[in-house]
């Protein structure tokens, strides 16, 4: 069983966090499809978006993964990008949210 991380998020964001995670799930699917088709420019774009969005909502780990994906896409590093997509998917599926 994977260790669950708990992230404390501002209670003002409570209404939009479900949409935030729905969008991340969509990003993951697009990343997988883009990787399969070697569309590294699209992967780099999504990585950049993740980098900005994660921290804005209090999910620094998403930002970290986004930056790594963005950097690796410019190198066309398929193996490491795939690993990061899997890490992102695992995180999105297991993170617990607490509101302050």
- Residue 93 forms part of a structural domain: yes
- Residue 24 forms part of a structural domain: yes
- Structural domains of the chain, count: 1
- Residue 38 forms part of a structural domain: yes
For 41, residues 6+ apart whose C-beta sits below 8 A from its C-beta are: 73
- State the CATH number of the domain containing residue 92: 1.20.120.160
Find the domain containing 83 and state its range. 18-99
pTM of this prediction exceeds 0.95? no
Helices and strands in the chain: count of H runs, count of E runs: 4, 2
- Residue 86 forms part of a structural domain: yes
- Residue 2 forms part of a structural domain: no
Q: At 72, which helix (H) or strand (E)? A: helix 60-73
- In tens digits, the chain (100 residues) has pLDDT values of 456 799 999 999 999 999 999 999 999 999 999 999 999 999 999 999 999 999 999 999 999 999 999 999 999 999 999 999 999 999 999 999 999 9
């Amino acid at each position: 069983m994977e260790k669950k991380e708990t992230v404390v998020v501002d209670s003002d964001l409570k209404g939009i966090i479900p949409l935030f995670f729905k969008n991340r799930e969509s990003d993951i699917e697009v990343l997988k499809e883009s990787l399969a088709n070697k569309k590294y420019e699209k992967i780099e774009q999504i990585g950049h978006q993740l980098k900005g969005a994660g921290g804005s909502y209090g999910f620094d780990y998403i930002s970290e993964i986004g930056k790594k994906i963005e950097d690796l896409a410019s190198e066309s590093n398929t193996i490491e990008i795939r690993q990061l997509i899997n890490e992102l998917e695992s995180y999105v599926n297991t993170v617990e949210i607490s509101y302050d």
